[in-house]
Chains A and B, each alone.
Chain A
Amino acid sequence: MSELNFKYDVLKDDFTCAGEASGKIKRTLKDLGFDSNLIRNIAIAVYEGEINMVIHADGGVITCDIAPECITVVLDDKGPGIPDVELAMQAGYSTAPDNVRQLGFGAGMGLPNIKKYTDDMKIETQVGVGTKITLKFMVK
């Protein structure tokens, strides 16, 4: 299988459509015949990331590279950046506003949960500039 490449735009404040990109990635991987557990892990991690982009950033871009041994997803936004990554990685720490909590999110599980479902997670962030999260999933 040669390498495949997909790109999805995530829109700011569009809570209705949040999850659209993750769903597309999930269905693409299913069509390509990847293992269902691997697909679920990717779907959950990317969905959490997508929700973060809608909640905290002004939307952004998700790219997905599919290679035979490794699936790489990059979540790139031009949002406020994360001032303290270590703190943001703590389960339960959240800066989500009340309206987001009413929608069932903002429990402070997003980043820890993304890490849990990935083989490798890299966060590059700069306050006032944006955040780029690179996720790698090994195909076993």
Chain B
Amino acid sequence: MKVKELTEILEGSVVYGMDFLDREVYTACGSDMMSDVLAFVKEQAVMLTGLVNPQVVRTAEMMDMKCIVFVRGKKPDLGMIELAEEREIVLIQTELEMFTACGKLYQAGLRGGSGK
């Protein structure tokens, strides 16, 4: 699905990346623990998280992710937005909780990595 569609499904808003909403994404992961994202995630394009600090954007950068979704109404700060701009990573914000957000995206066809 396109990032635009993902944003609509999550009733979210685009914090950064209006120019990249046509990006196609097929896989996602959800975690508040960046250590685990780095250890267990493979080739996921989208990360859903309730964690807000610059290392969320850095983790996404290292893993070549295209989009970060902040759940539970969490708001990235200016420093994070600037970092995302430099790395061209889309930032989406939603009021939905993690479980619901993941469920909606799974239902719409997104999957975890390795076909699981």
User: Hey, which bits of chain A sit against chain B, CB under 8 A?
Assistant: 15-16, 18-19, 22-23, 26, 36, 40, 43-44, 47-48, 51, 91, 103-110, 112-113, 116
Contacts and interface: CB of A to CB of B under 8 A. Distances in A.
B100 interface: no
Contact of B58 (A47, A91, A106, A116): A47
Contacts of A47: 38, 58-59, 62
Contacts, number: 72
A15 B62 contact: no
B54 A22 contact: no
Interface in B41-71: 49, 51, 53-56, 58-59, 61-64
22 contacts: A15-B55, A16-B54, A16-B79, A18-B55, A18-B58, A19-B54, A19-B55, A19-B59, A19-B61, A19-B62, A36-B64, A40-B64, A43-B61, A44-B38, A47-B58, A47-B62, A91-B39, A104-B53, A107-B36, A108-B35, A109-B35, A116-B39
A23 B35 contact: no
B61 A26 contact: yes
B87 to A, nearest CB: 8
A43 B79 CA distance: 21
Given A15-B53, A18-B55, A104 B61 contact: no
